[in-house]
Structure 1
Amino acid sequence: MKITSILAIYCLFWVMSAFVVLPFGVRTHADEGSQPEVGHAHSAPVNFSPRRIAKRATILSLILFALFYLNYTFGWVTVDDLDIVQRFRPPPR
């Protein structure tokens, strides 16, 4: 696998991981017992930290990409394993 492919796939894993970890640990004004400032949504987070989200996304994406790359290298799950139609097709007569 070329380095450009590795970087592109890792970036996709990172963006996906960022969206996965985004809602964890976020507290709203209702959770904190405070009132939002004028013009802010009631669901706006009080403790939003992009650095924490980036760190969590990086850790998760490294784990997921490592699993992806190991599967690519060792071939644990192949396209034939994912072909559901072939598995349920009746055998030829």
Structure 2
Amino acid sequence: MSLVGGIVIFCITWMVVLFTVLPWGVKPQNDEEGEIEPGTVESAPANPRIWKKFGITTVVTALIFIIFWTIIELELFDFRAFFQDI
């Protein structure tokens, strides 16, 4: 796998994992006991904790990428042959 290919695969995987992680632990402002932030809708997240979610996304993506990279580099599965048969 080339460096550019690895970066592309990591970025695509990161975005997919991010959209999976984003809804975790989200509570709308109208469910919280505090005031609704002026200029936002009632259903906006009260505390989105986006940096924590970015960190979780990066760790999960790194684990997935390491597994994928190992499969490619050790030739445990031949993806090219698999997709040629389809």
Structure-2-length-normalised TM-score: 0.76
Counterpart amino acid of residue 68 in structure 1: F
73-82 vs 39-48, which moves further: 73-82
Structure-1-length-normalised TM-score: 0.71
Q: Does structure 1 residue 47 correspond to structure 2 residue 47?
A: yes
Q: How many residues align?
A: 85
User: Offset of 1:76 from its aligned partner?
Assistant: 3.9
67-76 vs 41-50, which moves further: 67-76
68-77 vs 58-67, which moves further: 68-77
Counterpart amino acid of residue 72 in structure 2: Y
After superposition, the C-alpha distances for 1:31-75 in whole angstroms (9 at most, x for unaligned) are 323452454222210001221111011011011111211222234
Aligned to 1:56: 56
Q: Does structure 1 residue 27 correspond to structure 2 residue 27?
A: yes
3-state SS of paired residue (1:67): helix
Percent identity of the aligned residues?
25
Distance in 1 (CA, whole Å) between partners of 2:43 and 2:77 is 41
Distance in 2 (CA, whole Å) between partners of 1:37 and 1:9 is 38
3-state SS of paired residue (1:66): helix
User: Structure 1 stretches of 5 or more lacking a match?
Assistant: 86-93
Find the structure with the greater CA-based Rg. 1
Aligned to 2:36: 36
User: Structure 2 stretches of 5 or more lacking a match?
Assistant: none
